[in-house]
């Protein structure tokens, strides 16, 4: 199925807007077209999980930057937040099933630690990559192979 990630991200952002507003967190969108071959439900699942984390581990009045663009042969999606961050030594582990950064933190936020492992599985299923960048702020970068825009 030919999908424009811009459309999916717009849809997911409007779904998550209410939850973000509760903590006065703004979703700042900068969305360019990105045509990929994939499953719409999988993509929704991926983006909801990442934005859910970006809300959950953010601060009151925080921001989430959601960006999409196409470059060379790939489509790029970036989700960055102004939250508590992830320590260097945790970076490799957060994609493991049931991994939560520490017990106190997961008690406070109430996660199972399954979100990111599922996200990684779904991204790979669609020939994608996902990485946590070495940035000051928490930035997840996802890429998918681009396809030519589909017109009927
Ligand atoms: P679940 O998603 O299953 O409800 P969870 O959010 O704890 O639970 P994951 O989404 O897999 O689990 O994330 C794993 C761990 O990585 C989290 O417990 C959290 O400590 C850390 N983490 C994930 N996203 C962020 C983020 N945006 N900022 C800071 N820490 C994060
Ligand atoms: Mg999660």
pLDDT given at position 105? 62
Residues with CB under 5 A from ligand 2 (ion): 53, 111, 115
pLDDT given at position 108? 67
Pocket test for ligand 1, best of 25, 50, 52, 53 (most atoms within 8 A of CB): 53
Pocket test for ligand 1, best of 95, 96, 111 (most atoms within 8 A of CB): 111
DSSP conformation letters of 34-82: -EEES-HHHHHHHHHHHHHHHHHTS-TT-EEEEEEEEETTEEEEEEEE-
Examine the predicted complex and report whether its ipTM is higher than 0.95. yes
pLDDT given at position 100? 85
What is the number of the ligand 1 atom nearest to the C-alpha of 111? Answer: 8
Whether residue 39 contacts residue 66, with contact meaning beta carbons closer than 8 Å, is answered with no
pLDDT given at position 152? 59
pLDDT given at position 135? 86
pLDDT given at position 149? 79
The ligand that comes nearest to the alpha carbon of residue 130 is 1
Strand partners, 75: 70, 144
pLDDT given at position 134? 85
| Ligand 1 pocket, residue 81 CB under 6 Å | yes
Work out the end-to-end distance of the chain between its first and last CA atoms, rounded to an integer number of angstroms.
13
pLDDT tens-place values along the chain, 152 residues long: 899 999 999 999 999 999 999 999 999 999 999 999 999 999 999 999 999 999 999 999 999 999 999 999 999 999 999 999 999 899 989 999 988 887 556 656 767 888 999 999 999 999 999 999 988 899 999 999 999 876 65
């Amino acid at each position: 199925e030919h999908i424009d990630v811009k459309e999916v991200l717009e849809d997911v952002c409007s779904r998550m807007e209410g939850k973000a507003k509760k903590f006065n967190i703004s979703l700042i969108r900068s969305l360019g077209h990105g045509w990929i071959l994939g499953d719409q439900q999988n993509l929704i699942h991926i983006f909801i999980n990442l934005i859910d984390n970006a809300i959950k581990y953010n601060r009151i009045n925080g921001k989430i930057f959601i960006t999409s663009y196409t470059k060379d042969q790939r489509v790029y999606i970036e989700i960055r937040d102004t939250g508590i961050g992830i320590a260097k030594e945790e970076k490799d582990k957060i994609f493991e099933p049931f991994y939560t950064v520490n017990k106190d933190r997961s008690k406070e936020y109430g996660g199972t630690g399954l979100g990111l492992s599922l996200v990684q599985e779904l991204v790979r299923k669609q020939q994608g990559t996902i990485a946590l960048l070495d940035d000051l702020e928490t930035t997840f970068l996802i890429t998918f192979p681009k396809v030519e825009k589909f017109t009927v």
